[in-house]
Amino acid sequence: MSSLANIAIEVAGVEKAFRLPHEQRTTFKEYFLHPLRHTTFERQRALSGVTFAVEEGEFFGIIGPNGSGKSTLLKVLAGIYRQDAGTVRVNGVLSPFIELGVGFNPELTGRDNIRINATLLGLTRRQIRERFDEIVGFGGLERFIDQKLKNFSSGMQVRLAYSIAIQVDFDILMLDEVLAVGDQEFQERCFETLAAIREAGKTIVFVSHDLGAIRDHCDRAMLLLDGSIRAIGKPDDVLSRYDAIVHPVIGART
């Protein structure tokens, strides 16, 4: 393991569960028969004993089936959720890039949304002015920028959100399944920017169901299953493990 100075993210023994309410009374009759019966809660475990580290400058991929805990983990890293147990250490400025388009207002134009979203992400007025054309240009949104956001397709909204987010100064960029809705050409340009971000020594944590992208771009990958780490290492090895777990019968035949 590298010295701590080279570690961007260090996670040790992280646990996270959600409380899911169960309403016991569903009808008026039940309400009158059992007026004191309360809502009960079921604990939904989302992360269990999660321990790993990401080195500075790494392009680190996280994969796993739906509901395996990937987004919860990113939200714990970002401090949006507090873990129930364990420690999280983040060395450097984390991009607030967790769910694209947070703060977007569908009733406002693309132009106004850039101003608001970029302000929320920490850019000054002057930075927004200076970087405005680059944001619009990267998103290829020149023709749409004065239209209301509700008229943007979901792909266009993602283009806009991504274009703003990469203008924010950060050391660690977290992407949660955000490129999936972009078209092929936009995705390729995004991966070019990600390569440049990495060249600049910054760290990228990339959650995706696009296993090809994980294989092609990540230095290392991690497989989450039911909130636990099932594999971590070279993308090819982790993808094989994923395949063996998700398609065990096929895996057994090959």
Ligand X SMILES: Nc1ncnc2c1ncn2[C@@H]1O[C@H](COP(=O)(O)OP(=O)(O)OP(=O)(O)O)[C@@H](O)[C@H]1O
Binding site for ligand X (CB under 6 A): 18, 20, 44, 46, 64, 66-72
Distance between CA atoms of residues 15 and 233, nearest Å: 22
For ligand X, the closer of residues 20 and 85 by Cβ is 20
For ligand X, the closer of residues 64 and 182 by Cβ is 64
Distance between CA atoms of residues 245 and 206, nearest Å: 21
Mention every residue, 6+ apart, whose C-beta is less than 8 A from residue 211: 63, 239, 242
Shortest spacing between CB 166 and ligand X, in angstroms: 22
Shortest spacing between CB 180 and ligand X, in angstroms: 11
User: DSSP letter string over 61-80?
Assistant: EEE-STTSSHHHHHHHHTTS
For ligand X, the closer of residues 21 and 35 by Cβ is 21
For ligand X, the closer of residues 64 and 235 by Cβ is 64
Shortest spacing between CB 157 and ligand X, in angstroms: 18
Tally: H helices and E strands in the chain: 9, 8
Shortest spacing between CB 127 and ligand X, in angstroms: 32
For ligand X, the closer of residues 156 and 225 by Cβ is 225
Count of beta carbons in the 10 Å neighbourhood of residue 223: 25
The three-class DSSP label of residue 112 is helix
Q: Tokens 């570690």 label which residue?
A: 7
Shortest spacing between CB 213 and ligand X, in angstroms: 15
